Structure 1
Amino acid sequence: MSRRAILAIGLLTLPLTACLTPARDFHGYVADDAQPRDMKPDEDTRSSVLAQLGSPSTEGLFDDKTWIYMSDVQERIAFLKPKITKRSITAIRFGDDDKVDEVLEYTAADGEVINYAARETPTRGRELGLWEQIFGTVGAVRLPNSDEATPGNPTGRRQ
């Protein structure tokens, strides 16, 4: 092959390499100076944690004694589904005196896959077929003294 052909093929394939470079996305809490794991039990208080870390990603479900800071890094190659390469979840629990009781750290390896049940909750009544849904109102009579909206009375209330 000639040098020109090799150079042309190289120049044409060069833009394709950009598709193979993963794009990184950062989601959630991004620490500036202090890390959530640096909070010290029995030393830091709720106000010092708020001053150092800022607002939590979320709070505990049943009480406000647990603050949770979450972050993850995702990589995407071209049009493929993004993959989570790093996940960090730090839960800070406070005692009754608003001091840090414990600091818990979780990673992506600590997560569990939850299988949802595909069952349906039964409802009362019967199911209408296609033809019953289409022709179910044929022959229905509208009573003149009903509370349904009329052109002169859009609210439907009796006057």
Structure 2
Amino acid sequence: MARRAILAVGLLALPLTACLTPSRDYHGYVADEAQPSEIQPGEDTRSTVLAQLGSPSTKSLFDDNTWIYMSELQERVAFYRPRVKTRNITAIAFGTDDKVEEVLQYSAEDGQVINYASRETPTRGRELGLWEQIFGSVGNVRLPNSDEVTPDNPTGRRR
């Protein structure tokens, strides 16, 4: 009887082990045959880099002579946030003669945390609570016989 209970608990707990197995997600450039680090400065040209590595992940914003290849591996366990396991960034700079001048390698350790601007536009004045928004206009209604300036009454005086 005890064996059956242990076996039943074991079989019921078996699907839970699948939650503990990390799932892996690859993002960005995935090298097929050649690695970006195999590019040789002074030997390779823009066309040979394109033939070996394919199109870059992105180009430099300020200079089209720098190609950037980015790749990242993330692991997620159960419902937790994904964690970056590896991140590789290779920047390839070309000279005026389309030959590779330098190959720069960066990893996750080279990165810096950037604080992004919030998506809120600051406004002047005070913030109203829920009840102030609902009942804030009570008592602020003008009567039709007021001194309000309208197109029919440009001076605002009573007639």
Q: TM-score range by the shorter chain?
A: 0.7 to 0.9
Q: What is the 5 A alignment of 1:24-63?
A: 24-63=24-63
Partner SS, residue 92 of structure 1: strand
Distance in 2, matches of 1:82 and 1:142, equals 61
Provide the rounded CA distance (Å) in 2 between the counterparts of 1:84 and 1:111.
Answer: 12
Distance 1:110 1:129 in 2: 41
Q: CA deviation at 1:114?
A: 2.4
Q: 1:11 to 1:96 in 2, by over 3 A?
A: same
Q: Which SS does the other structure have where 1:73 is aligned?
A: strand
Residue matched to 2:64: 64
- 2: distance between equivalents of 1:39 and 1:142? 76
Work out the percentage of aligned pairs sharing the same amino acid: 68
Unaligned runs of 5+ in 2: 143-147, 152-159
Instruction: Please provide the CA RMSD for this pair.
Output: 3.0
How many equivalent residue pairs?
139
Bigger radius of gyration: 2
Tell me, what secondary structure is at the counterpart of 1:62? coil
Change (3 A) 1:94 1:81: same
Gaps of 5+ in 1: 144-159
Residues 109-136 of structure 1: CA distance to partner in whole angstroms, max 9, x if unpaired? 1111224577x9877xx6487579x86x
- Spell out the pairing of 1:133-148 with structure 2 (5 A cutoff): none
**Residues in 1 aligned to 2:80 and 2:114: alpha-carbon distance in whole angstroms:** 24
**In structure 2, what is the Cα distance between the partners aligned to 1:12 and 1:121?**
52
